[in-house]
Amino acid sequence: MTIPSFAIGIAGGTGAGKTTVAREITENVGEAVTRVPLDNYYEDLSHMSFEERADANYDHPDAFEWDLLRSHLDSLLSGQAVEMPQYDFSEHLRQDERVTVEPTDVIVLEGILALYDERVNDMLDLHIYVETDADVRILRRIDRDVLERGRELEGVMEQYLSTVKPMHEQFVEPTKKNADIIIPEGANSVAVNLLEEKVQAETGAFAEWAAREAENQL
Ligand code: UZR
Ligand code: MG
């Protein structure tokens, strides 16, 4: 049996505007969207010290717990809720508490490597890559990490050159070939509006299915 959820993946470099695109294209469908931030699926590094964690490479595919992500996507796409891990960026740590996330009409997986894993790609109905110039991305990244994620400028710069940039070139950028659609610049309103319409058109089917299922269980 297929569950009529529509699954979208949004990939692109750090600071490309993935989160903005995800938010904007699902703005008009209210509660009918389930967000799956790939960041929540960073491996649990609680056995390491803060210093060791601060030095880890978070831009390599091995930094993520793909098995858990795949099983959660699988559950959501079969109409089941998941206990989603949460991530604390200032501690570089998965939080102790998980959050119950319910499946809805539209599932949006968003993250630098959202289009990396072949089996994940198979689960997605629409593959989007947000392409933004590297200079714009690093400026946004500095802004966000220093102001919102409580990091030191020097550390952000060091990390960008040592891991973020090389990993982007080696692993993130090549996933562009897995995209159905490439959006130039995160805040591209024409692309966003077109996708917004597509998302809108995909909503409704899951809610109907869920209502029927609930009735059948009575
Ligand atoms: P987005 N990241 C951290 O800086 N610290 C962590 O503990 C975990 C992740 C960064 C990661 C990547 N890399 O570039 C970015 N580094 O978060 C991905 N270094 O997040 O897609 O929102 O830019
Ligand atoms: Mg983001």
pLDDT given for residue 26 in this prediction: 92
CA 155 to ligand 1 centroid distance, Å:
12
106 within a domain of the structure (yes/no): yes
- Quick check: is 133 in a domain? yes
Against a cut of 0.95, is the pTM above it?
no
> Does a structural domain hold residue 183?
yes
Which residues lie near ion ligand 2 (Cβ < 5 Å)? Answer: 19
Whether the pLDDT of residue 190 is over 60: the answer is: yes
Q: What pLDDT is stored for residue 211 in this prediction? A: 83
Among 14, 86, 140, 164, residue to substitute to test ligand 1 (most atoms within 8 Å of Cβ): 14
Residue of the CA atom closest to atom 20 of ligand 1: 14
Mean pLDDT across 127-146: 95
Lowest mean pLDDT across 1-10, 21-30, 158-167, 173-182: 1-10
3: pLDDT confidence band, cut at 50, 70 and 90?
low
List the domain range (segments joined by +) for residue 162. 6-216
ipTM for the whole complex? 0.89
Residue 109, domain CATH: 3.40.50.300
pLDDT tier for residue 160 given thresholds of 50, 70 and 90? very high
Of 46, 1, 21, nearest to 196 by C-alpha is 21
What per-residue confidence (pLDDT) applies to 132?
97
Q: How far apart are CA 215 and CA 217, in angstroms?
A: 5
Domain membership of residue 1 (yes or no) is no
Helix residue ranges per DSSP H, 3-151: 18-25, 50-54, 66-77, 118-123, 134-147
Give the pLDDT score at 115.
98
Domain total in the chain: 1
Q: Is residue 156 part of a domain?
A: yes
What residue's CA is closest to ligand 1, atom 7? 92
User: Which amino acid is it at 60?
Assistant: H
Ligand approaching nearest to the C-alpha of 11: 1
Bigger pLDDT: 167 or 200? 167
How much is the pLDDT for 65?
98
- In whole angstroms, give the CA distance from residue 32 to residue 103: 9
In contact, 76 and 103? CB cutoff 8 Å: yes
C-alpha to C-alpha distance for 96 and 70, rounded to whole angstroms: 21
Calculate how far, in angstroms, residue 192's C-alpha sits from the geometric centre of ligand 1: 24
* Residue 102 · residue 34 · CB < 8 Å: yes
150 backbone φψ class: left, alpha, beta (φ>0; ψ -120 to 50): left
